[in-house]
Structure 1
Amino acid sequence: MVTGTDTALEAELRRLAGSVPDPELPVLTLEELGVLRGVQVLGPGRVEVELTPTYTGCPAIEAMTADIERVLHEHGMAEVSVVKVLSPAWSTDDISADGRRKLAEFGIAPPRPSDVDGPVPLTLTVRCPQCGSTDTELLSRFSSTACKALRRCVTCREPFDHFKEL
């Protein structure tokens, strides 16, 4: 999260760290995915980056860490520390609007934003990213990663991933 107290250097380092692609969904950056929580300069050439995994035990967190370290080392930071922040937990609400748009363009149905103050939906309608139909069916609760489900559109018959709401 960018605060009003971020320095210009911290803002630039955040932009660089946030531009790293997600290793499992390279169509999204870590900023768009919403896992980048903060960047703080600790001293000359020293920076700490806060990263929240999408779920506890997410195997991609190590690749994210290595990629952030590489990018910031390439931009003059001699000491890069990436710390995992588990609270507050990541939620699919943390995915940016651009991230949701990119998921749909990539063929993955994005998670719906939660409406905390509204009614809880009894059925989940997932829109097909190919044809836009809401007449879809669940094929498997898990897909290529634990955070996605495999669905099929009844209208166009195309299978697609759905990034599950958390």
Structure 2
Amino acid sequence: MSASAAGTPRSTAREVRERVAALPDPELPVIGLGDLGVVGTVAPAADGVLEVEITPTYLGCPALEEITASVRDVLAACGHPDGRVRQVLTPPWTTDRITPEGRRKLAAHGIAPPLSPAPDRPVTVALGAVPCPHCGSRATRPHSPFGPSRCQSVLWCTACREPFPYLTAL
């Protein structure tokens, strides 16, 4: 750690990245931004100012403003009050960026994580393709295209008769 102009110890880019990755997603607070796969490079820019790249889960994400503010708070707390948050839209975020731990956390909280595609095939969401996070049955069907947040839909398990949110595969 070095000191900022105000004398506050400056955390390294790695330390800042770890703290940003641990921030909970505002719409899915059971998962951190790192496990969700929205945190990109954390490094000094050409002018020496520490920059954090984030990739929103989709354009128009209503949580983006809150995420950006939380990242700025981390930068300031880590001795980088001049740090920047940069939104990266290319390549776009996809559900394959969710870590295995993130998928486990989603499932543990009743949210069906998107299916992982085979490396050479696209994701298909067909009737019965998504296992129920409550009972594990694949006897599931679409219930509503609209879920608890804009990036989720609701599926219905015909085995245990429970609805559950499904993180929409993008």
Match of 1:149 among 149, 153, 157: 153
Q: Equivalent residues in 2 for 1:16-95 (5 A)?
A: 16-42=19-45, 46-95=49-98
Which one-letter code corresponds to 1:47 in the other structure?
L
What is the DSSP-based 3-state SS (H/G/I as helix, E as strand, rest coil) of the residue aligned with 1:109?
Answer: coil
Q: TM-score, normalised by structure 1?
A: 0.88
Q: 28-37 or 75-84: which moved more?
A: 75-84
Q: Which runs of 5+ in 1 are unaligned?
A: 1-7
What is the DSSP-based 3-state SS (H/G/I as helix, E as strand, rest coil) of the residue aligned with 1:98?
Answer: helix
Identity of aligned residues (%): 45
Q: Which runs of 5+ in 2 are unaligned?
A: 1-10
Q: CA deviation at 1:101?
A: 0.3
Q: Structure 1 residues 51, 155: closer, same or farther in 2, change over 3 A?
A: same
Q: CA RMSD in A?
A: 2.1
- Whether 1:158 aligns to 2:124 is no
Q: In structure 2, what is the Cα distance between the partners aligned to 1:35 and 1:119?
A: 21
Q: In structure 2, what is the Cα distance between the partners aligned to 1:113 and 1:119?
A: 9
What is the DSSP-based 3-state SS (H/G/I as helix, E as strand, rest coil) of the residue aligned with 1:79?
Answer: coil
Q: 44-53 or 144-153: which moved more?
A: 44-53
Q: 10-19 or 40-49: which moved more?
A: 40-49
1:113-141: CA deviations, max 9, x gaps?
Answer: 12241476473511000010000111101
Question: 1:111–1:165: 8 Å Cα contact kept in structure 2?
Answer: yes
Q: Structure 1 residues 154, 35: closer, same or farther in 2, change over 3 A?
A: same
Question: 2:111–2:166: 8 Å Cα contact kept in structure 1?
Answer: yes
Q: In structure 1, what is the Cα distance between the partners aligned to 2:136 and 2:92?
A: 31
Report the counterpart of residue 99 of structure 1 in structure 2. 102
Structure 1 segments (4+ residues) deviating >2 Å: 41-46, 118-124
Q: 67-76 or 23-32: which moved more?
A: 67-76
Q: CA deviation at 1:11?
A: 1.3
